[in-house]
Structure formats: structure tokens, C-alpha cells
Amino acid sequence: MDLIYAGEEVSARDIWQKLPDQPTYSTVRTLLAVLEEKGHLTRRLEGKAFLYRARKPREKMAASALRRLLSTFFSGSVEQAVTGLIQLEDSNLTAEELRRIERMIAQARKEKLS
């Protein structure tokens, strides 16, 4: 999906050429068909090639993926997910990032209590 979001519209060949450890071209086309069937992509025919684009903005797709991740790996618990992220050995959180997270938590607490 990164390659889809990187361009306005992309062909299967565009994606295939940019992938590391290239799978077969037919594999890329199959994956694009699956993503289209699931409602993540739309396509239009231009000449002999289909051009694909994301159906939803990256932010909405990210929120949806995050909800699935929470449900699948953290029993829906935001606390468990955040704890897991903070405790990652390679999280590389800076002091400024921690301050921003603290401010977001304070804001969320304020909104919940009012």
C-alpha cells in the first residue's frame, strides 16, 4: 500500500518494478485484485493497463488497520498496545516524543473526565 499511496495512480508494473525481492508479476496483479475486491483499491483502464488508486485516504486506512491490530494482538486494549510499543528495545523514543505522548494522555484524561 505504500507504493499505492506514493503515487496518484499506479499500474501493476509500476508496483512490481519498485518492489524489493520482486515476486512474479502475476503475484502483484493477484494481490492488487484482492485489495480491490476487499474495497481498498479502485482501478480504471488506461490503454491496455489498469491504473490503481487507494479508495480511502492513508489516515483512514491506518486507523482501520490499527483497530484490527488492537483486536487481533492486544484484545482491543490500547493500554497493552502502548505499553508494548514503549517497551520495545528498539523504540528509539526521544524525550520530545515522550512529552508529546504525555500531553496527549493528559488531554485524553481531561476529555474523559469532563
Q: What pLDDT score was predicted for residue 86?
A: 85
In 3-state terms the chain splits into helix, strand, coil percentages (rounded to 5) of 60, 10, 25
Residue 59 has which C-alpha cell? 489516515
Residue 20 has which C-alpha cell? 524489493
pLDDT digits (tens, 9 = 90+) for 69-108: 999 999 999 999 988 888 888 888 889 998 999 999 999 9
Q: What pLDDT score was predicted for residue 92?
A: 85
Q: What pLDDT score was predicted for residue 91?
A: 80
pLDDT digits (tens, 9 = 90+) for 23-64: 999 999 999 999 999 999 999 999 999 999 999 999 999 998
Please give the Cα distance from 100 to 102 (Å, whole number).
5
